[in-house]
Chains A and B, each alone.
Chain A
């Protein structure tokens, strides 16, 4: 038997190709999720979203249904827990108009709540539900179906074996009608421990765990694909946010580093500093400006920003230290006028308190800004403040992803780091980043003879013939001045 199979494979490469056809997938329309799922949900099969209360699983089900409806594929939402009116209202807050889709017969909300006080005498089954669904599916030509909070239905049954039996019947029905289905289930325990609904995990073709947890007092949301029969998938935990328009998942878009090669040199905005740098900063590279408080990191970054804007380029300034107004006002004393740049929209300053939200929300805002503004340069002031995003690990991930995104797009990225000593100059949260940074400029302040002496040195600058000496500089009311040696 075995030899004949081997022979068949050898003689029939085309047939083998046939057998290797990828499974059909249905996109969810959820930003980032389709990438993690390498295309979408398995067509004609069941996907399980499980997670704790408020984790976002019901929203994912609804959002995917709306996406299909928008593409002309009618769908049914079977609500075992929520009221249809509540779902419509909550959807409105995300800008989704369910009523219109319902009128067009592209969406049907089925109120399947079972009265908890219902008296039960003897055994019963979900056949009624299947009959109604049959009727509704045929009437609408529905191709998609979402069962929200299936656990509510299953709780009616006393025994786990009855639950399983009914779910198998439901699953069989789904497979026979070739519907792409999603079931959402509430789980209370951590995913690692055996759940009451472990058999659902076995039955479904694709299982996604959705999680909401608190790290360092900040709430973060993660999802993880636990299983996907017949397909590859992103295997990590992916952070996501529930934004203004729905769910956004933030995957790392490529497994391979696809950084653009550095571009030509661009002026730092200060002629003498250009000389020290060996011509200027290279476009698309990453620059670390490190120094103790007051050394002039923000000043130097703003000198660059202003010069770039005057050249017609766009700069995104992510400020974790002060508001745009405060920054503009403070930069007036070294004579840097930023207000006109902000007015014309060339300079965009986004200020956030690091602890205001989790790292993935910060990342979402940053990536969104990159996509909307298409800046040539990004300045992050200061990476040391990012520690307050919840955890050191979170801060590091945020900074790495922003850096990655910039390098993929050929955007010059400035990281300002508040370093209190020479040892920590090239460190973020205790994790060394010097190897991925192309240029490091260190600003030092020393008190000598009753006055502050400031010096800068270019520690490294890949691809540039930079000066390797300390250069004294001063911050005057006309910007930064390098003192001639």
Chain B
């Protein structure tokens, strides 16, 4: 937690002020999905405060959209902006991995 806050300070300077948009596919209130929601929200607050947007799609309510995007496993995070297509499968509990995939850390170098 402390480490997280330290990184948050550096995180604000990361990715030079670009706007981020995510689509998170969830399956109702299933535990992995709720975890993903929570983890994503926390992550965005720490690193992308004020410049992120999360679109939640519930596959039970909108299965046609899930089919269109070929999302079969949930929860699934798809980044829309700035780079479309990067995706992460899972409840996003491995924060480091998520950040690395979304290129939110490691940009300092």
Binding site for B on A (CB under 8 A): 110-115, 118-129, 131-132, 134-136, 156
Main secondary structure of the interface of A (DSSP, over half): mixed
How far is B91's CA from A83's CA once the two chains are assembled, in angstroms?
28
When A and B form their complex, which 7 residue pairs have the shortest distance between CB atoms, in order from nearest? A135-B63, A127-B27, A122-B93, A122-B91, A122-B90, A128-B74, A131-B59
For window 17-60 of B, CB contacts with A under 8 Å fall at 25, 27-28, 30, 32-33, 35-36, 39, 59-60
List of B residues within 8 angstroms of A136 by Cβ: 63, 67
> Given A121-B88, A127-B59, are A156 and B73 also a contact pair (CB < 8 Å)?
yes
- Contacts A121-B89, A123-B32, A135-B63 known; list 14 others, CB within 8 Å: A113-B70, A121-B95, A122-B91, A124-B76, A128-B59, A128-B76, A129-B73, A131-B27, A131-B59, A131-B66, A132-B67, A135-B64, A156-B73, A156-B89
The contact sample of 27 A-B pairs, CB cut-off 8 A, is: A118-B88, A119-B101, A120-B89, A121-B88, A121-B91, A121-B93, A121-B95, A122-B39, A122-B91, A123-B93, A124-B32, A124-B89, A124-B91, A125-B30, A125-B32, A125-B74, A126-B73, A127-B33, A127-B60, A128-B73, A128-B74, A129-B72, A131-B27, A131-B60, A132-B59, A132-B72, A136-B67
List of B residues within 8 angstroms of A115 by Cβ: 87
CB nearest to A117 among chain B residues: B87
Instruction: Confirm or deny: B108 has a beta carbon within 8 angstroms of a beta carbon on chain A.
Output: no
Instruction: Confirm or deny: B11 has a beta carbon within 8 angstroms of a beta carbon on chain A.
Output: no
CB distance from A131 to the nearest CB of B (A): 4
Q: Is the CB of A114 within 8 A of B72?
A: yes
List of A residues within 8 angstroms of B63 by Cβ: 131-132, 134-136
How far is B101's CA from A121's CA once the two chains are assembled, in angstroms?
10
> Given A112-B72, A135-B67, A156-B73, are A118 and B89 also a contact pair (CB < 8 Å)?
yes
How far is B36's CA from A128's CA once the two chains are assembled, in angstroms?
14
List of B residues within 8 angstroms of A112 by Cβ: 70, 72
Binding site for A on B (CB under 8 A): 25, 27-28, 30, 32-33, 35-36, 39, 59-60, 63-64, 66-67, 70-76, 87-95, 97-98, 101
List of B residues within 8 angstroms of A121 by Cβ: 88-95, 97-98, 101
List of B residues within 8 angstroms of A114 by Cβ: 72-73
Q: Is the CB of B25 within 8 A of A128?
A: yes
Q: Is the CB of B74 within 8 A of A124?
A: yes
List of A residues within 8 angstroms of B94 by Cβ: 121-122
CB distance from A232 to the nearest CB of B (A): 37
Q: Is the CB of B70 within 8 A of A125?
A: no
How far is B59's CA from A131's CA once the two chains are assembled, in angstroms?
6
List of B residues within 8 angstroms of A113 by Cβ: 70
Interface centre among A113, A123, A127, A134 (most CB of B within 10 A): A127
Q: Is the CB of B98 within 8 A of A128?
A: no
How far is B96's CA from A119's CA once the two chains are assembled, in angstroms?
12
Q: Is the CB of A124 within 8 A of B90?
A: yes
CB distance from B67 to the nearest CB of A (A): 5
CB nearest to A115 among chain B residues: B87
List of B residues within 8 angstroms of A118 by Cβ: 87-89
> Given A119-B88, A120-B90, are A128 and B27 also a contact pair (CB < 8 Å)?
yes
How far is B63's CA from A110's CA once the two chains are assembled, in angstroms?
13
CB distance from B15 to the nearest CB of A (A): 18
CB distance from A360 to the nearest CB of B (A): 38
List of A residues within 8 angstroms of B98 by Cβ: 121
Interface centre among B35, B36, B90 (most CB of A within 10 A): B90
How far is B32's CA from A136's CA once the two chains are assembled, in angstroms?
24
Q: Is the CB of B90 within 8 A of A123?
A: yes
CB distance from B95 to the nearest CB of A (A): 8
Q: Is the CB of A128 within 8 A of B32?
A: no
Q: Is the CB of A122 within 8 A of B32?
A: yes
List of A residues within 8 angstroms of B93 by Cβ: 121-123
How far is B92's CA from A285's CA once the two chains are assembled, in angstroms?
75
CB nearest to A129 among chain B residues: B72
How far is B93's CA from A264's CA once the two chains are assembled, in angstroms?
84
Q: Is the CB of B73 within 8 A of A123?
A: no
List of B residues within 8 angstroms of A128 by Cβ: 25, 27, 59, 66, 71-74, 76
List of B residues within 8 angstroms of A132 by Cβ: 59, 63, 66-67, 72
How far is B63's CA from A136's CA once the two chains are assembled, in angstroms?
9
List of B residues within 8 angstroms of A129 by Cβ: 72-73
> Given A119-B87, A119-B89, A131-B59, are A124 and B75 also a contact pair (CB < 8 Å)?
yes
Q: Is the CB of A120 within 8 A of B88?
A: yes
Q: Is the CB of B92 within 8 A of A127?
A: no
> Given A122-B32, A131-B60, A131-B63, are A111 and B70 also a contact pair (CB < 8 Å)?
yes
Q: Is the CB of A124 within 8 A of B60?
A: no
Interface centre among A111, A126, A129, A156 (most CB of B within 10 A): A129
Interface centre among A114, A118, A156 (most CB of B within 10 A): A118
How far is B71's CA from A128's CA once the two chains are assembled, in angstroms?
7
CB nearest to A135 among chain B residues: B63
CB distance from B44 to the nearest CB of A (A): 15
Interface centre among A115, A128, A132 (most CB of B within 10 A): A128
> Given A112-B72, A127-B27, A131-B60, are A122 and B92 also a contact pair (CB < 8 Å)?
yes
Q: Is the CB of A119 within 8 A of B97?
A: yes
How far is B39's CA from A118's CA once the two chains are assembled, in angstroms?
19
List of A residues within 8 angstroms of B90 by Cβ: 120-124
List of A residues within 8 angstroms of B36 by Cβ: 122
List of A residues within 8 angstroms of B101 by Cβ: 119, 121
